[in-house]
């Protein structure tokens, strides 16, 4: 990419003046919030309304800077460890899930907990517990150090070995090759995971697969949409934070699908004008933790530079929703009942 001499965003002319034939945006659908993120963010907001500030949240509730800042302004306090939460307070666990030891630590500190772990992450935890109870060696495909992997591994630390991509397979050792299963993080690249699984199967032909997909519906759908637009796009902009695994994967998938270039941005203010040089088709999507307002900001930024035609690239319909964490539902029900009695 070369440096640009184009006008700065503030000075950019808008509308017909800059509209050039052939400039278009391919907008991925689905994109942005998945059911687990929506639930987790609403859970923090409802908890703030129900119990008042502050509500402590262990780890970023979802990996998005804007979401975290917005909730902080409303009274949420984000901490890295339960030990930082004052005794007797309320702490919420993030959508990525926690290891059982974290629940124990919270109980020791007499914390009231609200667990916003996505039900689809919990499903993987339960699979890990079940296979460990049957004494399987569990090969967990995922990214080393990622919060979700730490949580899932904590369910059965003596049975789980992390496999961080196909390059890790050569080093994997198991106790009994006839009793091995693979599980995965929910937000991985589908294609890279299948590469890892194929390599594992070469090594362990009796490898058992999870009972259902661990890579969740939302991760899969967002990747399918980006694949559909990738070859037609000179540039794919992915809105998402740098620590958002599923958002980072969308950049990789776009490049793998043939996009001329792809960049991850937290919002329109991070887009480099130089990226548009020679570009007539821009693909646009967002990670599962990204509010739509940030995508709207990027669409506005692009429209000011002549990219006014927006075509939707639809890969799937999504209608799944999850009910709020049970602790919140219980208290909201109790409050509603008290109001009825009055």
**Catalytic site positions:** 148
* Among the listed residues 27, 37, 156, 197, the single contact to ligand 0O3 using CB under 6 A: 37
Which member of 31, 59, 63, 159 binds ligand 0O3 (CB under 6 A)?
63
From ligand 0O3, ligand SF4, none, which one binds at residue 287 (CB under 5 to 8 Å depending on kind)? Answer: ligand 0O3
Q: Where are the beta strands (DSSP E) in 212-267?
A: 235-239, 262-265
Which does residue 35 bind out of ligand 0O3, ligand SF4, none, counting CB within 5 to 8 angstroms by kind? ligand SF4
**Site residue total, ligand 0O3 (CB under 6 A):** 18
d(CA 161, CA 80): 24
Least separation, in Å, of the C-beta of 168 and ligand SF4? 22
Of 27, 28, 34, 98, the one binding ligand SF4 (CB under 6 A) is 34
301 within 8 A of 271, measured Cβ to Cβ: yes
Q: Which of ligand 0O3, ligand SF4, none is residue 153 near (CB under 5 to 8 Å by kind)?
A: none
Q: Which residues, including other chains, have CB under 8 Å from residue 286's CB and lie 6 or more apart?
A: 28, 31, 32, 238, 239, 240, 247, 292, 294, 295
Q: Which of 118, 200, 302, 324 binds ligand SF4 (CB under 6 A)?
A: 118
List the one residue from 57, 288, 298, 313 that touches ligand 0O3 (CB under 6 A): 288
What is the spatial distance between Cα 110 and Cα 108, in angstroms, rounded to a whole number? 5
d(CA 53, CA 236): 39
Contact region with ligand 0O3 (CB under 6 A), list: 16-24, 161-169, 238-246, 273-281:
238-246
- What minimum distance in Å lies between the beta carbon of 218 and ligand 0O3? 8
Distances (CA, A) of 329 to 94, 303, 324: 17, 42, 6
Per rule CB under 6 A, is residue 223 in the interface with ligand 0O3?
Answer: no
User: Cβ contacts of residue 149 below 8 Å, gap of 6+?
Assistant: 140, 142, 143, 162, 185
Cα atoms found within 13 Å of the Cα of residue 326, Cβ hemisphere only: 1
β-strand pairing of 112-115 with 90-93: parallel
Residue 180 · residue 174 · CB < 8 Å: yes
Q: Is residue 214 a contact point for ligand 0O3 (CB under 6 A)?
A: no
Interaction partner, residue 183 (ligand SF4, ligand 0O3, none; CB < 5-8 Å by kind): none
Residues that bind ligand SF4 in the complex, under the rule CB under 6 A: 34-37, 95, 118, 120-121, 186-187, 216, 218-219, 246, 288
């Amino acid at each position: 990419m070369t440096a640009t001499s184009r006008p700065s965003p503030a000075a950019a002319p808008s509308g017909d003046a800059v509209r050039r034939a052939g400039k278009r945006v391919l907008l991925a659908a689905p994109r942005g919030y998945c059911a687990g993120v929506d639930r987790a963010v609403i859970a923090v907001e409802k908890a703030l309304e129900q119990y008042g500030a502050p509500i402590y949240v262990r780890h970023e509730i979802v990996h998005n800077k804007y979401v975290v800042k917005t909730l902080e302004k409303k009274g949420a306090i984000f901490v890295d460890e339960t030990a930082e939460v004052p005794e007797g307070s309320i702490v919420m666990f993030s959508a990525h899930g926690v290891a059982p030891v974290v629940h124990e630590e919270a109980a020791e500190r007499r914390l009231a907990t609200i667990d916003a772990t996505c039900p689809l992450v919990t499903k993987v935890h339960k699979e890990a517990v079940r296979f460990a109870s049957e004494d399987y060696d569990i090969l967990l495909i995922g990214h080393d150090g990622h919060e979700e992997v730490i949580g899932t591994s904590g369910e059965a630390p003596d049975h789980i070995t992390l496999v961080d991509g196909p390059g890790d397979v050569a080093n994997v050792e198991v106790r009994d090759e006839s009793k091995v299963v693979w599980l995965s993080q929910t937000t991985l690249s589908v294609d890279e995971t299948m590469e890892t699984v194929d390599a594992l199967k070469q090594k362990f032909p009796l490898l058992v697969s999870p009972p259902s997909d661990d890579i969740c519906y939302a991760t899969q759908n967002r990747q399918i949409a980006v694949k559909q637009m990738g070859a037609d796009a000179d540039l794919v902009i992915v809105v998402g934070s740098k620590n958002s695994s599923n958002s980072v994967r969308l950049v990789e998938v776009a490049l793998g699908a043939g996009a001329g270039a792809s960049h991850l941005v937290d919002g329109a203010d991070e887009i480099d004008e130089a990226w548009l040089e020679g570009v007539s088709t821009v693909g646009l999507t967002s990670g599962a933790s990204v509010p739509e307002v940030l995508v709207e900001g990027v669409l506005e930024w692009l429209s000011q530079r002549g990219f006014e035609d927006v075509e939707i690239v639809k890969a799937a319909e999504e209608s799944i929703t999850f009910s709020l964490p049970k602790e919140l539902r219980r208290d909201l029900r109790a409050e509603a009942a008290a109001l009825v009695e009055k």
